[in-house]
């Protein structure tokens, strides 16, 4: 970022750092930076944010899904709400910026508006979503799914130890009994700032990534059935080794995914789970299980990948003399494209601030994906060092967060006018 940009931003970088550093200090001492949802440390972090929200003049509340919301009333509340935010929970030994930077940026937009004596026509809400990361209950994006009215009712009965998700939401101040009526219809636009969690911006010496879409995530299970035999007495050319076949399949999946990644839109596929049976040194493996995590910016690419994966598995099965069952799609969340108006507005704001930017897809999931079910939604990325994330050494420069915050600040002011013209 150039010095001229740093000194002319409409936001206060030191206040942003105060939020990030304040939350970083609320962690398990021997596991930085750990503040998982539904733990006492998470509640301590929430109390810290609530104090900062109130000090900024925001009216705070916890909604039915356990989201912390700070509201700044607009001149024409009937127009609806502009919402900014992210999440403050972390993964175990996770980063100090993932989610937190977005909450700090959103709060600073509200403070900068007040500093400048700027009144919006729309209401402005700042949100800290509950449990964006995979929680102790094994599910994620609890708060944003709840706000969008699509939190599965069955999830509320999920249990960790003696605590259910239903009880966990109550303990953070939510009210699961009101979830059926929570779905918001007043939100006219949602924006989220987040660290990139990848190396593209840093490598390209860019300031901002304007997120075109949040990739869909499909999890695919493949079972390879061979035959168990004695490892010492069965000739090599008489074996039906499930592990050998599965190994060939893993390499072939990597090659296939690499080809897809060279095509249209963002695409990745990873064999993230792998197990064999009977898993004994002196037995030819009889069974192997693979779980593929595949992510695509464009749904047709995912559908094509699954078809080609089936053909690939059939070929490997024939060559290795094993049986490979048809691919079992465990879960299939479709991509969420960014709203075209919001994307163009964010690019205009980048130009106004002087931020070097590019359009790019997100390979990771975010609360924005669920907010996109109920309103115009979009994200911006800021660089993170080495592309590292979900690790103690995750790092984003405060000046980069401040620049992204300035882009949000400008975009909010533009949208406050533009959305009225769209009515």
Stretch(es) of the chain classified as CATH 3.40.630.10: 3-214+336-422
> Cα–Cα–Cα angle for 64, 68, 71, nearest 5°?
105
The answer to whether 397 and 17 are in contact (CB under 8 A) is: no
**pLDDT per position in the chain (423 positions), as tens?**
544 455 689 999 999 999 999 999 999 999 999 999 999 999 999 999 999 999 999 999 999 999 999 999 999 999 999 999 999 999 999 889 999 999 999 999 999 999 999 999 999 999 999 999 999 999 999 999 999 999 999 999 999 999 999 999 999 999 999 999 999 999 999 999 999 999 999 999 999 999 999 999 999 999 999 999 999 999 999 999 999 999 999 999 999 999 999 999 999 999 999 999 999 999 999 999 999 999 999 999 999 999 999 999 999 999 999 999 999 999 899 999 999 999 999 999 999 999 999 999 999 999 999 999 999 999 999 999 999 999 999 999 999 999 999 999 999 999 999 999 866
pLDDT at 4: 45
pLDDT at 421: 82
Instruction: Give me the residues paired with residue 270 across strands.
Output: 293
pLDDT at 423: 62
Q: Rounded to 5 degrees, what are φ and ψ at 127?
A: -125, 140
Q: How many CB atoms lie within 10 A of CB 64?
A: 20
Stretch(es) of the chain classified as CATH 3.30.70.360: 216-333
C-alpha distance across the termini of the chain, in Å: 37
Task: Evaluate if pTM is beyond 0.95.
Answer: no
pLDDT at 1: 57
pLDDT at 242: 98
Instruction: Give me the residues paired with residue 390 across strands.
Output: none
Q: Is CATH 2.60.40.10 the classification given to domain 216-333?
A: no
Give pLDDT tens digits for 35-73.
Answer: 999 999 999 999 999 999 999 999 999 999 999 999 999
List all residues 6 or more positions away from 130 whose beta carbon is below 8 Å from its beta carbon. Answer: 37, 65, 66, 67, 68, 87, 89, 142, 143, 146, 169, 172, 174
CATH of region 3-214+336-422, choose from 3.40.50.720, 3.40.630.10, 3.40.50.2300, 1.10.3720.10: 3.40.630.10
- 379-391 burial, b at 16+ Cβ within 10 Å, e below that, comes to bbbbbbbebbbee
């Amino acid at each position: 970022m150039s010095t001229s940009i740093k000194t002319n931003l409409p936001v206060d970088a030191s206040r942003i750092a105060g939020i990030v550093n304040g939350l970083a200090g609320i962690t398990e001492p021997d596991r930085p930076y750990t503040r998982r949802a539904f733990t006492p440390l998470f509640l301590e972090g929430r109390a810290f944010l609530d104090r900062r929200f109130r000090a900024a003049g925001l009216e705070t509340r916890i909604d039915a899904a356990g989201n912390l919301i700070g509201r700044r009333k607009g001149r024409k509340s009937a127009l609806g709400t502009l919402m900014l935010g992210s999440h403050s929970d972390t993964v175990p030994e996770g980063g100090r910026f993932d989610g937190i930077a977005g909450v700090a940026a959103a709060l600073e937009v509200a403070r900068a508006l007040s500093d400048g004596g700027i009144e919006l026509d729309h209401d402005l809400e700042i949100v800290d979503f509950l449990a964006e990361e995979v929680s102790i209950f094994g599910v994620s994006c609890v708060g944003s799914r709840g706000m969008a009215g699509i939190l599965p009712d069955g999830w509320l009965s999920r249990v960790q130890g003696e605590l259910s998700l239903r009880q966990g939401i109550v303990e953070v101040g939510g009210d699961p009994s009101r979830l059926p009526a929570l779905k918001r219809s007043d939100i006219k636009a949602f924006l989220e700032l987040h660290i990139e969690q990848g190396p593209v911006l840093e490598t390209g010496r860019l300031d901002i990534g304007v997120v075109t879409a949040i990739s869909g995530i499909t999890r695919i299970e493949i079972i390879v059935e061979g035959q168990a035999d004695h490892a010492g007495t069965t000739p090599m050319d008489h074996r039906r080794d499930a592990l050998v076949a599965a190994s060939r399949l893993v390499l072939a999946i990597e090659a296939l995914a690499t080809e897809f990644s060279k095509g249209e839109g963002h695409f990745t596929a990873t064999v993230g789970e792998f197990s064999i049976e009977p898993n004994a040194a002196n037995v030819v493996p009889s069974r192997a299980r693979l779980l593929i995590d595949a992510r695509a910016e464009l749904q047709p690419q995912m559908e094509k990948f699954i078809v080609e994966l089936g053909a690939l598995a059939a070929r490997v099965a024939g060559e290795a003399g094993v049986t490979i069952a048809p691919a079992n799609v465990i879960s299939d969340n479709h991509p969420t494209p960014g709203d075209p108006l919001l994307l163009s507005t964010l690019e205009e704001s980048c130009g106004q601030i002087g931020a070097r930017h590019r359009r790019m897809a997100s390979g990771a999931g975010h609360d924005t994906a669920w907010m996109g079910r109920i309103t115009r939604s979009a994200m911006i990325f800021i660089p993170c060092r080495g592309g590292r994330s979900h690790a103690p050494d995750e790092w984003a420069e405060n000046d980069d967060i401040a620049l992204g915050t300035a882009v949000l600040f400008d975009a909010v002011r533009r949208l406050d006018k533009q959305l009225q013209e769209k009515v």
